[in-house]
């Protein structure tokens, strides 16, 4: 039936699986999944990239397959795309976590703004950290890594050969724990200084109990916090670069685990 329009049923099924993986990756990967990118553009990119990739990847020997098996393969491609995309997006969560910790320590936890990338409300400092981190990653062509991952997955993990290694769960736990550890390391300079300010104010309040020292604590934290931020960005840029390198290694590790038995 399909031969009359230039391709076979097996080619159509292969293209569908490639398209599903691309579309899932574009829906969850950083940069490409943001709400500022129109959903129709993601679908168009997935169609274009699938049409190119289907000509480059090895052709499976067991195609075509029955409808039930095809739906299983589609579900497997969706899972693979979600797995890679979510692990790739952990560096964004690390930066946001650091921003939330900074906001709380300098007294700006109530200041919120609308995240233009996700259209969700977030703390102002967290949003500032997020935007600057995205600009830094774009400046070093970090988005090229995600494009390369999307194409390389088809050679590392063919559409019919996904596997699950027993080290997947420990690796996932390790990556999740890094969100807190690396987030604290990014916010450490501001958090530590703000912590010592609170200790100093507490000591002054005990020494001079007649003075209402805590009434000026909020203003003092905000002023000192903004002063620290003026000199904080070189350290922030180094930490973002380190976190992004760790994220790349983690994504490549996940890919190796998913293809461990192939």
Q: Name every residue whose Cβ is closer than 8 Å to that of residue 220 and which is 6 or more positions away in sequence.
A: 197, 201
Whole-prediction pTM:
0.75
pLDDT of residue 262: 46
Query: Which tens digits make up the pLDDT trace of 237-259?
Result: 888 888 888 888 888 887 777 77
Specify the higher pLDDT residue, 129 or 162: 129
pLDDT of residue 91: 80
161: confidence class by pLDDT, cuts 50, 70, 90: low
Is residue 88 within 8 Å of 251, Cβ to Cβ? yes
179: confidence class by pLDDT, cuts 50, 70, 90: confident
pLDDT of 2 > 50? The answer is: no
Question: 3-state secondary structure string, 104-163?
Answer: HHCCCCCCEEECCCCCCEEEHHHHHHHHHHHHHHHHCCHHHHHHHHHHHHHHHCCCCCCC
pLDDT of 118 > 60? The answer is: no
pLDDT of 122 > 80? The answer is: no
30: confidence class by pLDDT, cuts 50, 70, 90: confident
pLDDT of 162 > 50? The answer is: yes
pLDDT of residue 6: 52
Query: Which tens digits make up the pLDDT trace of 136-157?
Result: 888 888 878 888 888 888 887 7
Of the ranges 25-34, 86-95, 109-118, which one carries the lowest mean pLDDT score? 109-118
Query: What are the φ/ψ torsions at residue 259 (nearest 5 degrees)?
Result: -115, 20
pLDDT of residue 164: 62
pLDDT of 201 > 50? The answer is: yes
Instruction: Report the range out of 39-53, 108-122, 174-188 with the highest average pLDDT.
Output: 39-53
Taking all residues of the chain, what is their mean pLDDT, rounded to a whole number? 77
pLDDT of residue 215: 67
pLDDT of 110 > 70? The answer is: no
pLDDT of 261 > 60? The answer is: no
Question: In whole angstroms, what is the distance from residue 5 CA to residue 131 CA?
Answer: 47
Query: Which tens digits make up the pLDDT trace of 33-91?
Result: 777 777 888 888 888 888 888 888 777 766 666 778 878 888 888 888 888 887 777 88
pLDDT of 165 > 80? The answer is: no
Instruction: Report the range out of 54-58, 93-97, 159-163 with the highest average pLDDT.
Output: 93-97
């Amino acid at each position: 039936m399909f031969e009359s329009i230039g391709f076979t049923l097996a080619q159509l099924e292969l293209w569908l699986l490639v398209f599903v993986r691309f579309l899932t990756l574009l829906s969850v990967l950083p940069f490409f999944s943001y709400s500022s990118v129109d959903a129709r553009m993601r679908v168009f990119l997935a169609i274009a990239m699938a049409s190119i990739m289907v000509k480059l990847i090895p052709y499976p020997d067991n195609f075509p397959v029955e409808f039930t098996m095809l739906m299983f393969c589609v579900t497997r491609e969706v899972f693979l795309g979600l797995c890679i995309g979510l692990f790739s997006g952990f560096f964004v969560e690390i930066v946001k976590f650091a921003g939330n910790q900074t906001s709380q320590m300098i007294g700006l936890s109530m200041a919120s703004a609308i995240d233009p990338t996700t259209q969700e409300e977030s703390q102002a400092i967290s949003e500032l950290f997020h935007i600057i981190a995205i600009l830094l990653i774009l400046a070093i062509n970090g988005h090229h890594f995600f494009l390369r991952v999307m194409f390389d997955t088809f050679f590392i993990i063919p559409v019919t050969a996904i596997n699950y290694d027993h080290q997947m769960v420990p690796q996932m736990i390790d990556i999740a724990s890094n969100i807190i550890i690396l987030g604290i390391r990014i916010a450490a300079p501001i958090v530590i200084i703000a912590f010592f300010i609170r200790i100093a104010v507490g000591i002054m309040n005990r020494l001079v109990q007649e003075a209402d020292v805590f009434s000026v604590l909020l203003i003092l934290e905000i002023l000192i916090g903004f002063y620290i931020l003026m000199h904080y960005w070189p350290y922030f840029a180094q930490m973002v670069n380190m976190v992004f390198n760790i994220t790349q290694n983690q994504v490549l590790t996940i890919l190796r685990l998913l293809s461990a038995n192939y």
